[in-house]
Copies of this chain bind each other. A is one copy, B any other.
Amino acid sequence: MSSPDSGQPVSFVSKTDMVVALIREMIITGELPEGKQLRQRDLAARFQVSQTPVREAMRRLESEGLLVGDAHRGFTVVEAELGPTEENFLIRAVLESLGASMAAPKINQEAIATLERLNEEMRQLAEDDPRYAELNREFHFVIYEHAHSPLLLSLMRLLWHSLRGGPKVARTRQESVAQHAKIIDALRAGNADAASTATYQHIMHVSHLDRP
Q: List residues of chain A with CB under 8 Å of any chain B CB.
A: 11-12, 14, 16, 52, 55-56, 59-60, 62-65, 70-71, 78, 82-84, 87-88, 90-91, 94-95, 98, 102, 147-152, 154-155, 157-159, 162
Cα A154 to Cα B81 with chains together (Å): 12
Partner of A16, one of B59, B78, B84: B59
* Nearest B residue to A84, CB-CB: B149
* Nearest B residue to A57, CB-CB: B59
A149-B83 in contact (CB<8A): yes
Partner of A98, one of B64, B83, B90: B90
Known contacts A63-B63, A154-B158; A95/B91 CB under 8 A? yes
- Max count, chain B CB within 10 A of own CB: residue among A71, A102, A152: A152
Known contacts A12-B71, A55-B56; A150/B83 CB under 8 A? yes
CB-defined A-B contacts under 8 Å, sample of 22: A56-B56, A60-B60, A60-B63, A63-B154, A64-B150, A64-B158, A65-B150, A82-B149, A82-B150, A82-B154, A83-B151, A84-B150, A84-B151, A87-B149, A87-B151, A90-B102, A91-B155, A94-B95, A94-B98, A95-B95, A155-B155, A155-B158
Cα A64 to Cα B150 with chains together (Å): 7
Chain B residues with CB under 8 A of A152: 83, 87, 91
Q: Report A11 CB to chain B, min CB distance, Å.
A: 8
* Nearest B residue to A71, CB-CB: B12
Chain B residues with CB under 8 A of A14: 71
Chain B residues with CB under 8 A of A95: 91, 94-95, 155
Chain B residues with CB under 8 A of A151: 64-65, 82-84, 87-88, 91, 159, 162
